[in-house]
Structure 1
Amino acid sequence: MSLATVKPLRIVFLGPRASFTEEAALKIFSDSGAVFTPLPSIREVFRTVENNDADYGVVALENSLEGSIGETIDLLANSNLRICGETEIRIKHNLIVKPGTSFNDIKLVISHPHALAQCRNFIESRLKNARVEPRPSTSDAVKEAVENSGVAAIGSELAAYVYGGEIIARGIEDHRDNYTRFIVIGRNALEKGVGMKTAIIFTLPHRPGALYSALEPFALRGLNLTKIESRPIKGKPWEYLFFMEFEGYERDERVSEAIEELKRRTTQIKLLGSYRKVP
């Protein structure tokens, strides 16, 4: 096959441009000559990959301060796509303005609600006289701030670069240990990365000890669980599914035995794939 006939990977991610999700997508795929396209919602990312209009999608799974992204887990439960890889991004917030703007000029601070909450101490100490308003995303906020005088946005260094903003304060987040995990969704696991995790979703019979029984096969085989949480099942009030990740490859003997035993103890189980972390 000639190089001219090799099509670049098509990557979609939750936009807009210069979002933290784009940073994650670039971290994973920037060395592959991929074509990147922002989309307006997590649901649209899933739909585009499901329809084969993209090879992979990148969406957030959880934040170390705010917790899991429920919509991502819900869509995984109802999609035929698999988790193909993961990475994490340290969330570094910066104060970004139209070039030439000083602290004394700032009358309005805008950003995504999570970013505003994560920079509360900085806002209250350095910008206590400014109004604070939420925006749909940090990228939208940066674009707006750069286009208007007296407005400051909290966003990423990438957003400042893309939209031509000036960073007048860096690392303004209250907690430095602020990370977001992003997953790659698709059909084929990425070959790059380190380590190996497997993810599953399952439901249980409503009886005492059901969750204990479900976890026992993994404990007996020394498999380390790295994440487990419950999510409400849409349309079934007070019924829940469980999303679980653990170390190991789905075809390893210990892992496959644990999954087979789990199948006998659950009412439904879905294997979401085994995948590596791109450091």
Structure 2
Amino acid sequence: MSLRSGYEPGVPCWVDLSSTDVDASVHFYGEVLGWRAEMVDDPEAGGYGQFFHEGRNVAGVGPVFAEGMPSVWNTYVATEDAAATADRVEDAGGTVVMPPMQIFEEGTMAVFRGPDGAHVCVWQAGRHKGAELVNEPVSLCWNELVTRDVAAAERFYPAVFGWTPRPQEMDGVTYTEWLSGGASVAGMMEMSPNYPPETPSHWMVYFAVADLDDTVAAARRLGASVLIDAMESPPGRFGMFVDPQGAALSVIQLTENQ
């Protein structure tokens, strides 16, 4: 099992769901991915909780930040200093949407918007180190920037996180891996014309699953809008859907050599 007790700076370490209906989301993901939710029993937590699989946290869940905002999966990148990262964001032409904020003794978070329009979060760990299980069925396995401005992203993320872009051609499409310390930590691709014109640049979250067909069928049965039933990729077959509350995510059945 891919167990984690911490993350190096610059590595995506956590994801959470901001939902317009937390109870409905808890039910949906419990049925589709088998997660168990534990909500924080403290009014100051704002209705936040965590999803668990076999006793290990795999993702978070809570209400949207403000009324009228859509449901969305958020990507968090590990940092040793959220305030210093916020300074680099502004120097690189990004926007600090939510300044660094301490969350009890768990850690410090901040939310930024890059010049390409995509939002990304950072996490400075305290007691909460990030996802305890990754790269296994029903856990986080990849984070991918889908952007309308590749050039802006290639300037912004190296300045903020120290990432190095490594583009490669895949079936006539340029796919970029983001490297941190020489290791591949995330991906990037230009948004295709198939996306509705109002869709902004965004970070897509991928969860590994044991059986792609069963997972997509369960999501559809429970009210999800399936965008991709199954598509081949080097890491494995993947699908994409929008959950009943409107948050998009991808699921992938990783090949055995991953």
Instruction: Give the TM-score normalised by the residue count of structure 2.
Output: 0.24
Instruction: Say which structure is richer in helix.
Output: 1
Which gives a bigger RCO, structure 1 or 2 (Cα 8 Å, sep 6+)? Answer: 1
- The structure with the greater share of residues assigned to strand is 2
TM-score if structure 1 supplies the norm length? Answer: 0.23
